[in-house]
Amino acid sequence: MTIKVAVAGASGYAGGEILRLLLGHPKYLSGELEIGALTAGSSAGTPFHEVMPQFPQLADRVLEDTTPEVLAGHDVVFLGLPHGHSAEIGRQLSDETVVIDCAADFRLRDKGEWAHYYGGEHAGTWPYGIPEMPGHREEIANATRIAVPGCFPTGATIAMLPAVAAGLITPDIAFVSVTGVSGAGKKAAVPLLGAEMMGNLRAYNTSGRHRHTPEIAQNLSEVTDEDINVSFTPVLAPLPRGILTTASAPLKEGVTADAAYETYRAFYSDEPFVHLLPEGHQPQTQAVLGSNMCHVQVEVDGRAGRLVVTAALDNLTKGTGGAAVQCMNLALGLPETAGLPQVGVAP
């Protein structure tokens, strides 16, 4: 049986990353996976090679309108749409179709948090696509509706999940994430112009205003009964891709550096896409470029009495498109690692 896959929002960065990975997927290479409809909004009717020249295999395709009718009849539909557009499309697709949403529409459980950060009607909550979170791999494997996490929450969650679950810290956590510009999407905006970005660093949506803040807190709350307090500061950097997250929190009494490192080693020992670096080595975005990996380091700042964790990932791969394909593999009963590179592109 051939798996037929559609990508809505194929002209955007998330859609393009999904396609990059699908074109290298063993099921595609064997002829058992077919790339069906490629859809867009304002770019509908445009030859695909004009907006995505990096895909010679799809050079003869034309972007179609993003409608339920065009997307119907596929086994898997990836939604790489702006926030607020996925709910209506998802409602109109068959329950048998695996729908994987890369927007925020179905990530949050709390209606109040949705209203505060996004506004409008809360569409509901779908199974959440970080397989590395306890119980989520099994939930995803039995789902036909999946919400891909935000890129910042992926790195932040992987960074602090073992510490919160093991009670190593008081969960009053500060996150600072330095990110490349592709996380803002493929849109024309003055702050993202080369002249504005090159040689410049800028914090934005500070003091709890970033929409990913409640998502990080929601994720970490799953593994503790303690109240989670999250302070999140994103920093825009002149990079196309990549997120480097530094997280710190007060260390509980008696926790040593060796104990912290062993906790992380044990927690992620069976995870194919999380790499705990050897002690003394720091994650860097270059090392994960184009891969579905998250590189992690955990340390104890004894003088400050804090746990310090750093994590690096590619925001378009593990942070979006790779996470989406990882979830597809699980939902279809395929090997979880199929089509997902573990080796970065450096330099």
pLDDT at 310 exceeding the cut of 90: yes
The whole-angstrom separation of Cα 20 and Cα 320 is: 12
- pLDDT tens digits for 218-272? 999 999 999 999 999 999 999 999 999 999 999 999 999 999 999 999 999 999 9
pLDDT recorded at residue 87: 87
Length of the chain as a residue count: 347
pLDDT recorded at residue 293: 98
pLDDT recorded at residue 188: 74
Mean pLDDT of the region 315-328: 98
Could you tell me which of 229, 265, 252 has the C-alpha nearest to residue 307?
A: 252
pLDDT at 70 exceeding the cut of 90: yes
The whole-angstrom separation of Cα 131 and Cα 153 is: 13
Structure token digits, residue 282: 């720091």
* 151 included as an active-site residue: yes
Q: What percent of the chain has pLDDT over 70?
A: 100
Helices (H), the chain: 13-22, 26-29, 48-51, 68-71, 86-91, 111-117, 136-141, 151-166, 194-197, 213-221, 257-267, 285-288, 322-332
pLDDT recorded at residue 44: 95
Structure token digits, residue 289: 């470029």
Hey, which CATH number is domain 152-313, 3.30.70.260, 3.40.50.2300, 3.40.50.300, 3.30.360.10?
3.30.360.10
- pLDDT tens digits for 38-51? 999 989 999 999 99
Q: Residues 79, 100: contact at Cβ < 8 Å?
A: yes
CA atoms within 13 A on the CB side of 91: 9
Fold of domain 3-148+319-332: Rossmann fold (3.40.50)
The whole-angstrom separation of Cα 250 and Cα 227 is: 14
How far is C-alpha 246 from the geometric centre of its chain's CA atoms?
A: 17
The residue ranges of every structural domain in the chain are 3-148+319-332, 152-313
Q: Which long-range contacts (CB under 8 A, 24 or more apart) does 84-92 make?
A: 84/118, 84/120, 86/123, 87/123, 87/124, 89/8, 90/123, 90/145, 92/68
- pLDDT tens digits for 104-143? 999 999 999 999 999 988 999 999 999 999 999 999 999 9
pTM of the model: 0.96
The whole-angstrom separation of Cα 215 and Cα 226 is: 16
pLDDT at 194 exceeding the cut of 90: no
Dihedral pair phi/psi, residue 96, rounded to 5°? -80, -20
The whole-angstrom separation of Cα 81 and Cα 83 is: 6
pLDDT recorded at residue 183: 84
Per DSSP, the residues of 172-202 read EEEEEEEE-GGGG-S---GGGSHHHHTT--E
Annotated catalytic residue within 102, 151, 294, 327: 151
Average pLDDT along the chain: 96
Residues 6 or more apart from 340 whose CB is under 8 A from it?
21, 273, 292, 317, 322, 325, 326, 329
Question: What distance, in Å, lies between the first and last C-alpha atoms of the chain?
Answer: 40
